[in-house]
Amino acid sequence: MPYVLDQARSQILDLLHAATGGRDFDIKEAPAKLDADLSVPLFAWAKQRRENPVKLAGELAEKLDLGGTLFSAVSVTGGFLNFKLDADRFRSHLFADFDREGADYGGSQAGAGKTIVIDYSSPNIAKPFSVGHLRSTVIGQAICNLFRFRGYRVIGDNHIGDWGTQFGKLMYAYDSWADPEAVAADPIRQLLALYVRFHEEAEKDPALEEAARGWFQRLESGDAAALELWQSFRDLSWKDFERVYRLLGVEFDEVLGESFYNDRLESVVEEAFASGLARWSEIEARVGSVAAGSGEGSSGESGTPVAMEKVAIIPLEEHGIETPLLIQKSDGTSLYATRDLATLVYRRQRWHPAQILYVVGGEQQLYFKQLFKAAQLMGNDAKCVHVWFGLIRLPGGKMSTRKGRVIFLEEVLDEAVSRARAVLADRDLEEAEKEAIARIVGIGAVKYADLSQTRTKDVLFDWDKMLNLQGDSAPYLQYAAVRVRSIVRRAEAKTVAAKIDPGLLGEEAELSLLRSLAGFPQVVESACASYQPHLVATYLVTLARDFSAFYSQVPVLKADSLVLAATRLALCRMTAQVLERGLALLGIETPERM
Ligand code: ARG
């Protein structure tokens, strides 16, 4: 049985199909000022038939037989047909939806049998977990949750950057200058310092670049000492990342990382040559311009010219992309793209995904265009999407890993939690509980600040806005959920045995709340289809506002009859459930109390 609004939409399509023979209609929510629920603009259809849309709408309205549908009336404004839901049928269908789906209300089995791989978070080892990787983590997690809720098999894969020329640099630096004890004590900062020092010294002495390449070559060819050093960098970094993931409450299905594909790189390059796609070419090698990502470029090095270099490329000019994709260096070492091509082959073979999403910053747009095109030429048929996002800016300037000028993510998260703690200071709660709430609220606020905006926009961190209990913020929604739940808890005892009659819910505030609740499944669907978690965030704010209006205008426990009280209480319960589910889809917890 479809959700009430899905049913309503398909009935409209059936009605219009019966009347016109066509199915090409767009269904929108009716504007608030109209006494209607769904609207169908007829302009495109009228144009196709060379008819006047207003006249066409009038004629159609006459012809439609609403008998047996969820609608009680159809009206015409301009070139629009407006459908009004019959309140009784709408209410009982919606209540039946909740009964049937229970806690899964809003989800579906639309994705059953389909697999989607979501590549997200993907920080680079031996570097701090950046605020950009925070965005990838938070957005990626929400998208994983959303697709799972729609019945997909989701493989969340953390493609950590643990391979590449930057490790050659780091090994060189470690070998030449490191104090192993200091590194063990504070690995990420020390490794970062070594990496920065490498760049400073390499500017004076280009021979260092050569030496670093040597180290990376050793690594790729399986040299034991190089591998051991690399493994220790990886272990130290992973410990650090795990702390962040624990704080954020994020888990992955796979953490394969770039190094995992090491023994699959050669065959990718061979295949690219064998199929005639690749060729050798001379390019001017620049540090950092060779490839995006993995610290080979995303770390923001300015690009110091070194020399002309022979590299294997896949030219893409014929396909409208001017820059070729670089897949191998003259010394036989791999690049970010080589590893990504191998990853793609592996994912297809292992999971047969219908889609692969790459949740990675907007600065890699060109790179993913190149990658997807090259992969397609090599026979990839999985739908690949670069789900990109803008930058995060903190008050006081843009962040950058360049030259070691980084803001450590943990500092940002700690700040969020301590600000939440301050907000809670005068609450009458046990210290331990306060601490737990501060974490949930602080982390929730950071996640929400990110997820509530259109993905592609930059995010400006505004602490006051983020923790504002009234505004468009996580604490506002968390507080709303906690409040509704406590209303339910207090009232439940008094209305246990009473029956429910959805037909009694006729107040405007009740109907608005019902309509909001009915909209949830569609919001989840659109958020998946467009990979935009912010649609859920925006929806939740509306739902919370509708609930506030309802609760301030309509008595629940003091309702005229026990049945009415129980029915309104059911409405509260539905609201609490959807608020919590919506927040959970965004990866945001709801505390017990606040
Ligand atoms: N580690 C990369 C970076 O920080 C992101 C990797 C994204 N995923 C991928 N398959 N390329 O820029």
Residue with tokens 């389909």: 114
Best of 160, 294, 348 for a ligand 1 pocket test (most atoms within 8 Å of beta carbon): 294
Ligand 1: atom nearest CA of 130 is 4
Helices (H), 111-177: 131-149, 165-177
Best of 120, 121, 122 for a ligand 1 pocket test (most atoms within 8 Å of beta carbon): 122
Ligand 1: atom nearest CA of 159 is 8
Cα 496 from chain centroid (whole Å):
40
Distance 592 CA to ligand 1 centre (A): 37
CA distance 365 to 292: 10
Phi, psi of 334, rounded to the nearest 5 degrees: -90, 170
Give one DSSP letter per residue of 234-250, joined into a string.
HHHHHHHHHHHHHHHT-
Token couple for 360 = 């990675």
Phi, psi of 430, rounded to the nearest 5 degrees: -60, 150
Distance 161 CA to ligand 1 centre (A): 6
Fold of the CATH domain 116-398: Rossmann fold (3.40.50)
Fold of the CATH domain 4-85: Gyrase A; domain 2 (3.30.1360)
Distance 122 CA to ligand 1 centre (A): 5
Going from N- to C-terminal start, the domains of the chain cover 4-85, 116-398, 410-585
CB 362 within 8 A of CB 388: yes
Beta-ladder partners of 397: 394
Residue nearest to atom 11 of ligand 1 (CA): 340
CA distance 312 to 314: 7
pLDDT in tens, the chain (594 residues): 899 999 999 999 999 999 999 888 999 999 989 999 999 999 999 999 899 999 999 999 999 999 999 999 999 999 999 999 999 999 999 999 999 999 999 999 999 999 999 999 999 998 888 888 999 999 999 999 999 999 999 999 999 999 988 899 999 999 999 999 999 888 888 999 999 999 999 999 989 999 999 999 999 999 999 999 999 999 999 998 999 999 999 999 999 999 999 999 999 999 999 999 999 999 876 544 344 344 443 333 344 555 688 999 999 999 999 999 999 998 899 999 999 999 999 999 999 999 999 999 999 999 999 999 999 999 999 999 999 999 887 765 554 444 455 667 888 899 899 999 998 888 889 999 999 999 999 999 999 999 999 999 988 878 888 888 788 999 999 999 999 999 999 887 776 667 899 999 999 999 999 999 999 999 999 999 999 999 999 999 999 999 999 999 999 989 999 999 999 999 999 999 999 999 999 999 999 998
Residue nearest to atom 12 of ligand 1 (CA): 293
175-180 long-range Cβ contacts below 8 angstroms, 24+ apart: 175/215, 175/229
User: How do residues 127-180 score in pLDDT, each as one tens digit?
Assistant: 888 888 999 999 999 999 999 999 999 999 999 999 988 899 999 999 999 999
Give one DSSP letter per residue of 396-440, joined into a string.
TEE---GGG----HHHHHHHHHHHHHHHHTTS---HHHHHHHHHH
Element (H, E) at 583: helix 562-585
Distance 40 CA to ligand 1 centre (A): 43
Distance 344 CA to ligand 1 centre (A): 13
Element (H, E) at 74: strand 71-77
User: How do residues 359-380 score in pLDDT, each as one tens digit?
Assistant: 999 999 999 999 999 999 999 9
Distance 445 CA to ligand 1 centre (A): 25
Ligand 1: atom nearest CA of 336 is 11
Best of 118, 254, 360, 387 for a ligand 1 pocket test (most atoms within 8 Å of beta carbon): 360
Distance 294 CA to ligand 1 centre (A): 6
Ligand 1: atom nearest CA of 297 is 12
Residue nearest to atom 8 of ligand 1 (CA): 159
pTM of the model: 0.93
- For residue 418, the model assigns a pLDDT of 92
* DSSP letter (8 states) at residue 71: E
Ligand 1: atom nearest CA of 371 is 11
- Is 348 exposed, middle or buried (CB count within 10 Å of its CB: 0-12, 13-18, 19+)? middle
Ligand 1: atom nearest CA of 298 is 12
Q: Which residues surround ligand 1 with Cβ inside 6 Å?
A: 119, 122, 124, 159, 161, 293-294, 298, 340, 343, 358, 360
Distance 576 CA to ligand 1 centre (A): 37
Sheet order of strands, 325-329 included: 279-286, 305-314, 325-329
Q: What CATH number belongs to 410-585?
A: 1.10.730.10
CA distance 413 to 400: 17
Residue nearest to atom 6 of ligand 1 (CA): 122
Best of 159, 357, 358 for a ligand 1 pocket test (most atoms within 8 Å of beta carbon): 159
